[in-house]
Amino acid sequence: MITEIVVSVVFACIAFLYWRKVTIRRKLWWLKRIHGYPIIGSALDFIDSSKSLKVMEEITQKTNGWGYFEVLHETNILVTQYRFVEWLLSSNTLLKKGSVYQVLNRWLEGGILISAGSKWKKGRKILTPAFHFNIQEKFVEVFEEPSKTLIEILNTKAGEDQINIHPYLVRYTLDTICQTAMGVQLKVQEASHNDYSEAVSEMCRIVVERAFKPLKINDYLYMLSSDYRKELKYVKLLHEVSDRVIAIKKRELESKEEGKEREEYDELGKKRKLALLDLLLEYREEGKPLSQSFIRSEVQTIMFAGHDTTAAALGFALYNLANHPEVQKKALDEAKELTNANNGKITFRTLQEMKYMEMVIKETLRLYPSVPFYSREVTEDVIYEEGKIIPKGVTLLVIAWVINRDPTVFKDPEQFIPTRFLDTEIKPFSYVPFSAGPRNCIGQKFAILEMKYILLKILLNFELLPGDSDSAPVIAAEAVLKSVNGINIRLRKRLTSSIQ
């Protein structure tokens, strides 16, 4: 009897999934489907994360940018065609992140990266002032201490055959985001090992594996895996670090002179801008403070998004500079000219005037977008164009890796050519490393500012040289783009440096 019931349930589930797939396929008659295996679809094509971007490129080539594939019960439309990208990213209704992002919920607990609806709007509204340019100008002074520590560490590595610079950048960006956005010093770079960064790296791997591996998509099957037990351990550690950061800042605020009112206005009478964590802790909604869970979710989100993505971009920028000496020389000349004109000091204005370095960063992010793809979930049937319906439940995958390499937009798209950004004709939705539209990256200007600062410091102190013949990055598409074999370069101390 029990066996019959189990068989009936399994049969009913298979029948439902088949009916659902057929229904969606009929509505997507206008798109080409990539045929996979029965039941699991194209899941096997994405087993190896180091090959998944290549698979996506091949699918877009086969479908001319208009196609979809299936993984078990999930239907995924690849979004790379310009009009489709513009339509999706500029939409004010298709704002819910794809279901795979919910894998991050144990960790991020609904921060602005993964939330939707009113919660996302509330978070975005509260956090936006923390990235105002007045705040960023103050951050330049804060950059000095963690960057000085990084330069001192790299000084001990200069002259070695080659080093994987990525781990040093991860610790630097974590120190920087804590000292700027959180106003808290963790001194991560001074530790011999960093469990936080390791936990973030593993969580990024788990997210993408769960998205494409049949046995891990289902929550119940996933709970039987070793990754589930690892995730619980990592999440516990990540929460502990976030709680520690919040507690340090709370004690700092409470230690201020009792009864002294917070100065809401600066000396010019303008409303004072607060750093992110200060803003969260002092924000009042109808006279009530934000909940601890809301504050923690946003702190965790910014700590993750504000350090791991920036570290990835910095690593690829240094790799590009090391392998393109003519570009490195132009960037160095600009750095010397601007700092010498200001007696060796780096100011907010100095960074704003670094136009060539900004092109180096933009070109790096074009070739190596820190988030190579991101998604939106269709929550109800929507009409793309007359007669073309996108069914409820479909996931729209925006493949920034492919979009940024479109040969019809970027001549010689595989080449590293920073000056291509002198061309003002590049359309906004042809270049999407920070996404675009309502859900664009809230901290993109901060990230570029931070990257300019530390790249300037590194260039003034070191000559960047290529690694050995096997040092080319082996790209893997996880939640954040990474090189499986690290970012390997050589450092040579410059004889004279105008800044330390």
| pLDDT tens-place string over residues 417-448 | 999 999 767 888 999 999 999 999 999 999 99
The owner of tokens 């809401």 is 264
pLDDT tier for residue 104 given thresholds of 50, 70 and 90: confident
The pLDDT score that the predictor gives to residue 73 is 82
What is d(CA 371, CA 341) in angstroms, rounded to the nearest whole number?
A: 36
Q: Which residue is associated with the tokens 């790299």? A: 154
CA–CA separation, 484 and 391 (whole Å): 36
CA distances from residue 467 to 43, 367, 398, 459, 488 in whole angstroms, order as listed: 35, 19, 33, 17, 5
Do residues 336 and 195 lie in contact, with contact meaning Cβ atoms separated by under 8 Å? no
Give the pLDDT of residue 232: 93
Range of lowest pLDDT (217-221, 297-301, 384-388, 475-479)? 217-221
How many C-beta atoms surround the C-beta of residue 229 within 10 A?
11
Nearest to 359 by CA among 327, 406, 329: 327
Average pLDDT of 105-109?
88
- Indicate the range of 67-81, 210-224, 312-326 predicted with least confidence: 210-224
Residue 32 has a pLDDT of 94
Q: Tell me the pLDDT band of 223, cut-offs 50, 70 and 90.
A: confident
Mean pLDDT, the chain, integer: 88
* Alpha helix positions (H), 156-194: 166-180
Structure confidence at residue 23 (pLDDT)? 92
Share of the chain above pLDDT 90, in %: 54
Report which of residues 146 and 469 the model is more confident about. 146
pLDDT tens per residue, range 23-52? 999 999 999 999 988 888 888 888 777 788
Which residue, among 372, 363, 432, has the nearest Cα to 401 in the 3D structure? 372
The tens digit of pLDDT for each residue in 259-284 reads 455 554 344 334 445 678 888 998 88
Q: Which residue has the higher pLDDT, 103 or 381?
A: 381
pLDDT of residue 405: 95
Question: What percent of the chain stands above pLDDT 70?
Answer: 93
What is the DSSP secondary-structure string of 291-318?
PHHHHHHHHHHHHHHTTHHHHHHHHHHH
User: Measured between alpha carbons, how far is 341 from 337 in angstroms, rounded to an integer?
Assistant: 6
| pLDDT (0 to 100) of residue 144 | 93
Nearest to 124 by CA among 444, 439, 448: 439
Confidence of residue 217 (pLDDT cuts 50, 70, 90): low
Tens digits of per-residue pLDDT, 148-197?
999 999 999 999 889 999 999 999 999 999 998 888 888 889 876 778 88
Binning the chain into helix, strand and coil, the percentages to the nearest 5 are: 55, 10, 35
CA distances from 287 to 67, 178, 230, 282, 339 (A): 51, 28, 40, 11, 46
Compute φ and ψ for 441, nearest 5 degrees: -70, 120
Predicted pLDDT of residue 216: 65
Residue with more model confidence, 221 or 27: 27
At residue 184, the pLDDT reads 87
pLDDT of 496 reads: 64
Q: What's the confidence (pLDDT) of residue 274?
A: 66
From the list 79, 75, 46, 51, the residue with the least C-alpha distance to 65 is: 79
Strands 74-79 and 66-71: antiparallel
Taking only the tens place, the pLDDT of each residue in 334-385 is 999 999 988 888 999 999 999 999 999 999 999 999 999 999 999 999 999 9
